[in-house]
Amino acid sequence: MFPIRDTVPSQSPPLMTWALIGANAAVFLLELAMPPRQLQALFYWFGIVPARYTHPDWAVWMGLPVDDYWPFLTSMFLHGGWLHIISNMWTLWIFGDNVEDRMGPWRFLAFYLLCGLVAGVTHWATNMDSTVPTIGASGAIAGVLGAYFLLYPRAHIITLIPVFFYPLFVALPAATFILIWFFAQLFSGVGALLGPGQVGGVAWWAHIGGFVAGMALCKLFLASGRRRRFKDEMAFESAWDVALTEPKDKTD
């Protein structure tokens, strides 16, 4: 299930979304120029390695400072390969512009970074013994998805669903698409906790933590005077407004 685009146009140019994509792309280009050993060292120094904070003796043995918490921020701008950065930036491109519309660029930046920090802490709390560096913007982007879930539930996401070799394109309500995504993360995250020892690959609980943070913090970052209806949502003030399901006064 891969999102192609949403059906809600931007009200204004998403300058901060563009800036975040540009910053991630610039850092990734620097990564491409590094030899493998230097790149590995970069990931250990600036990615989140949970054992670095849980087992300080191991961190000292590895030559990592134990009192350095910058990786919870810097890890958001590192990516492990082309597929990693393209999938993250594509998702940010689709969902970030509309959330930025409702927050404004600087509020959106603060919201994005805060969700990423919560995602990083959640990953540390659920993988305390892991010595694998965790990198990527997906935790922060999960926060953007959490905000989009609340702000634009009746929007539609044009979604590619491959059926064997046949590409099937379906317009899913945003709430449906995001809930499917979230429960996939939750199912995988629970499986990772029940599985053996070392956790690598995907930081499922970072996604879950970022998403929950996005839902919880969204309204705190909304800017006044930025509410506007879009064609895709014209019939609905909010999908969560129970009053809208009640009959209105009618005229014959």
Measured between alpha carbons, how far is 78 from 174 in angstroms, rounded to an integer?
Answer: 28
Backbone angles phi, psi at 160, to 5 degrees: -90, 120
Question: Going from the N-terminus, what domains does the chain have, and what CATH number goes with each?
Answer: 2-222 (1.20.1540.10)
Count of CB atoms situated within 10 Å of the CB of 214 = 29
Q: Global pTM?
A: 0.86
Q: Measured between alpha carbons, how far is residue 114 from residues 59, 119, 151, 159 in Å? A: 26, 9, 18, 28
pLDDT digits (tens, 9 = 90+) for 183-222: 999 998 888 777 654 444 678 999 999 999 999 999 999 9
pLDDT digits (tens, 9 = 90+) for 56-69: 899 888 888 888 89
Q: Give strand pairing partners of 166.
A: 163
Q: Encoding tokens for residue 183?
A: 């429960």
